[in-house]
Structure 1
């Protein structure tokens, strides 16, 4: 019975230390504001959640979401989706094209359609070391340095159809 009171103090100190360490670790990452369209549909909302998760995984970021415009004084602004990024989208992007582009006001992650915006989020993750496999997503072994500068990625598909064909045009498909 005398052992339990003696363990209370060391266990309490250990718990306090672990709690303080987790708070300090969370404060180390950058504060990032993700701006999305106020009328974003479910796919763009999902893209925003995926982006928030990526930013937390890759950079230990504290992510806040804004709709329409970033709050006054916001730094590290990422505009997500076609509506908040319309001034930065190339005219010939098409519905399946997507961009990850640095701008003077932050970063644009957008596509010609909601699904292309989601592809752009994954492109941003890939550019920062994430690898996507059928068995799961894998972050880089070492966290990359956070920056919104230096991105100039524009992707447009070469094929007009994105699908896996079970039966192709070979002899077995006759």
Structure 2
């Protein structure tokens, strides 16, 4: 399926199947893990991302994770928890987490498919789910790098990474 064919197909589908079609249309590598999970990978502008979706039919929730290739060393976890708090205050959908067992930083959000008889996912929902995760990871990736490797405080890292330019050079 091409991206154009996918975008013209506005039918709803089973959540994992819709994401499979979305990943395929973008040419991303993916693998279904049973009927309720899919894992994909894609290259962003900063790093490679693992995208993971898990469908919880009992709860009617599709959870979506984006894992940028960032791992926190134990010495930097304190400043990273502060960084996560400051970043998460700015987010409308989803949040960043630091998994304590592995030091992995990830972005997580979910969609509740309650109230639909077939618990289907629309193209618009699939796009919002995936694009929000990738956009937020791309937006905040430099912040994490400044804290981890640049020696900046969380406040300095956010200020340095999120400078808004105006006009044209």
| Smaller-chain TM-score bracket | under 0.3
TM-score, normalized by length of structure 1? 0.27
- By percentage of residues, which structure has more helix? 2
**Structure label with greater radius of gyration:** 1
TM-score where L is the length of structure 2: 0.27
